[in-house]
Amino acid sequence: MKAFADKGFHGTTTRDIAAAAGKSPAVLYVHHKSKEELLYQISKDGHETTLRLVRTAIATTADPAEALHRAMHDFALHHASSPTGARIVNYELAALAPEHLTEIRGIRRAIDDEMRRLVARGVEAGAFDVPDVDLTAAAILSLGIDLVRWYRDGGRWTPEQIADRYAGLALRLAGGAPRT
């Protein structure tokens, strides 16, 4: 992941990957058919983890505001706690083979659908007030995805501080009452 993060997928060679792992380039092919397949596995694992954590957070409560707070907190914490992996997962999609990209897009759609359903549930319950559920859900998810472009370890905020603040921002975007 470090090699992909440092040079991007296309700038990374199998020698770079092997050197980062402390192995010979031939070892890569023992475990993966290609550099693209390694990227796919990293992307798949990252997206499946994100989908699981969003679903788990939403399932913890029937209160849409509390569910959104938890989901955004966990989503942002996950991205800020592993920004290198999250950058690769979110910004190297164009390097995936068509069949791998189709699969990853399916997982991303599932994440989007979870957030969309949660915002819609909050609107129906009177907990949220938004003119466009789809756009609001997309904006909320964009918060967590985009933080990996600027966040670095040792910066001004810890991952937990970011997660707490982003959870509050998500509630505000949904037109919900802020948490204290």
For the stretch 168-177, pLDDT in tens is: 999 999 998 7
3-state SS track over 90-146: HHCHHHCCHHHHHHHHHHHHHHHHHHHHHHHHHHHCCCCCCCCHHHHHHHHHHHHHH
Write out the chain's pLDDT in tens, 180 residues. Answer: 777 777 778 887 777 777 777 777 666 666 667 888 989 999 999 999 999 999 999 999 999 999 999 999 999 999 999 888 888 888 889 999 999 999 999 999 999 999 999 999 999 999 999 999 999 999 999 998 899 888 888 889 999 999 999 999 999 999 987 766
Taking only Cα atoms into account, the Rg of the chain, rounded to an integer number of angstroms, comes to 18
Which among 2, 13, 5 is positioned nearest to 92, based on CA atoms?
5
- The pTM of the full predicted model, rounded to 2 decimals, is 0.87
